[in-house]
Amino acid sequence: MIVRTLKDCENSPRNIDGGNWKSVRMLLREDNMGFSFHITTIFANTETPIWYQNHLESVYCISGEGEIETVADGKVYPIQPGTLYVLDKHDQHLLRGFSDMQMACVFNPPLIGNEQHNQDGAYELSAEPVTG
């Protein structure tokens, strides 16, 4: 059994600062579950271009408000508590926070832990594992 608290993960190398966001990576590839689980905060008044070419992601909004825009067709979807969006086609998108949004995120394949977005807004598959 794996038991971790958000507080413990926030005070460890699992807490990653991405500039417009911070991601507390509570479950990682090393945990051998086939997915990773994160609590991510998207900061207010930010826009982040993202294109997960190597991962599928589902995101559930716990708190805050914002929107997501799909680049291919320009569709804009509001995000508020209770909203789930799933990037099931490696969708290139713009994520905007109107207020700080706390999100629960699941990635497949799982992240190693220290990934940052590359110039395309993707996570690479070759990062070194985080310990802690």
Q: What is the mean pLDDT of the chain?
A: 90
**Residue 77 is encoded by which pair of tokens?**
């979807």
What φ, ψ does residue 31 adopt, rounded to 5°?
A: -85, -5
Q: Is the pTM of this model over 0.85?
A: yes
Q: Which residues are CB-neighbours of 75 under 8 A, at least 6 positions away?
A: 69
Q: What is the mean pLDDT of residues 76-95?
A: 96
The tens digit of pLDDT for each residue in 104-120 reads: 999 999 988 777 666 76
- Distance CA(108)–CA(101), nearest Å, equals 22
Alpha carbon distance 65, 78 (integer Å): 8
Token code pair at residue 31: 């945990």
* Residue pair 80/65 in contact by the 8 Å Cβ criterion: yes
Could you give all domains of the chain from N- to C-terminal order, each with its CATH number? 6-107 (2.60.120.10)
Nearest to 80 by CA among 107, 94, 59: 59
What's the pLDDT score for residue 6?
97
